[in-house]
Amino acid sequence: MVSSMNSSAPAGPAVDWLLGEARFLPSGPATLKELGLRLNAAGIDLARASFHVRTLHPQLYGLGFYWYRGRDDIRVFQAGHDTRDSDMYRLSPMRLLFNEGVKEIRESLERDASSFTFPLYAELKAQGFTDYLALPLTFSDGKVHGTTWSTDRKGGFHEDEIRLIKAVLPAFSLLIEIHLNRRIAVNLLDAYVGHQAGERILAGQITRGSGETIPAAIWFSDLRGFTAMSETTARDELLDRLNLYFDAVAGPVTERGGEILKFIGDAMLAIFPLAVDGACANALAAAIEAEAALAALNRERSRTGAPPLAAGIALHVGEVMYGNIGSATRLDFTVIGPAVNLASRIEGLCKTLGPSILLSDDFAARCMGGGNGGGAPLRSLGRHHLRGIAREIEIFSPEATA
């Protein structure tokens, strides 16, 4: 049943709490859990409550958080962007709140399940719930999110309980909006500058020139033949190839604890701070795993006649300046310094030396010497002059690399 009832109830202890102490809770789920307990204490026989928010995230369309009376944990549901085209979403009460502007959904779960409009009602009935209420959660920008409330008491909710739930929604909405905006800020910073850089920015390291000098393993990689590829490949196909390539090389970097700082066209710059034990070992392992991921990708591409994708990966180690650089109004959180330049120069040798993974002598010394780099079988490819570098650099590659 869909209703347009718009009753109100006087603010009670739960509302006072939402406007006071609840502001200091660490997250939206923590707020939901505490609110459920306080509504129980206020006499509402609430057995289940949830809130559902649409967010800004590269992979996620939205999130759902579920509280159950008697449980310590909050269940989390993540909905990808393809969810909007799924039967699950089409047959969900949330669609009515999000897309159709419905102000209230109420359903007695004590009725015959064959008469239910949505499959969710039958699921909740089977779990012992007797009444279901869905209400919009409207933010200050007018965007509508959603909440649900269920009881397992025979006869369902009393009308005064529903009025009290409605009375807490405006204050609850304000807190969830604050927490969601914080989460969106973190998500966007993670996506566009990386997690560690994002944490520094949120901590206030935002002035031009702020930063620090740190020792790090430096990763610089590049897609082979991209210039020619961009001249002969349609835009959408070119973007697909780039994304496939970056998936293959970026995944191992983040899984091994590296921080991807930027994508420069078809190139990628990342660091593994030496403050973390095993940084060089992790960087080398990530390079070997990226090479394997590209090989697996190319086996799939060969089945459809698609051309292979190849990369050059250079690893070096040295001190870098890690912080904000740029103009007064447009900053970039990245690393700069001679060590970064050297890594880029080494990567260029992949075109002439052959192996797809090249290591500087400084990086190789850490690998062969154990400790931070671990022990990895390497072979020398000789000493080389690099443009802009005063000394000759001995270049190495892993024994197993192509």
pLDDT value for 227: 85
Instruction: Provide DSSP, 165-178.
Output: HHHHHHHHHHHHHH
pLDDT tens profile 256-275: 999 999 999 899 999 999 99
Cβ–Cβ under 8 Å, residues 363 and 315: yes
What CA dihedral angle connects 358, 362, 367 and 373, to 10 degrees?
-110
Which structure tokens are listed for 247? 């998936």
Which structure tokens are listed for 310? 């190849």
Residue 144 pairs in a beta bridge with 138
Helices (H), 270-387: 279-303, 338-348, 350-353, 361-368
* Model pTM score: 0.73
pLDDT tens profile 45-67: 999 999 999 988 888 889 999 99
pLDDT value for 401: 61
pLDDT tens profile 276-309: 999 999 999 999 999 999 999 999 999 999 999 9
pLDDT value for 375: 56
Burial of residue 290 (CB within 10 Å: 0-12, 13-18, 19+) is buried
Gap between the Cα atoms of 63 and 51, Å rounded: 8
pLDDT tens profile 77-130: 999 988 888 888 899 999 999 989 999 999 999 999 999 999 999 999 999 999
Average pLDDT over residues 367-390: 76
- Whether the predicted pLDDT of 358 surpasses 90: yes
Instruction: State the pLDDT confidence band at 371, using cuts at 50, 70 and 90.
Output: very low
Instruction: State the pLDDT confidence band at 400, using cuts at 50, 70 and 90.
Output: low
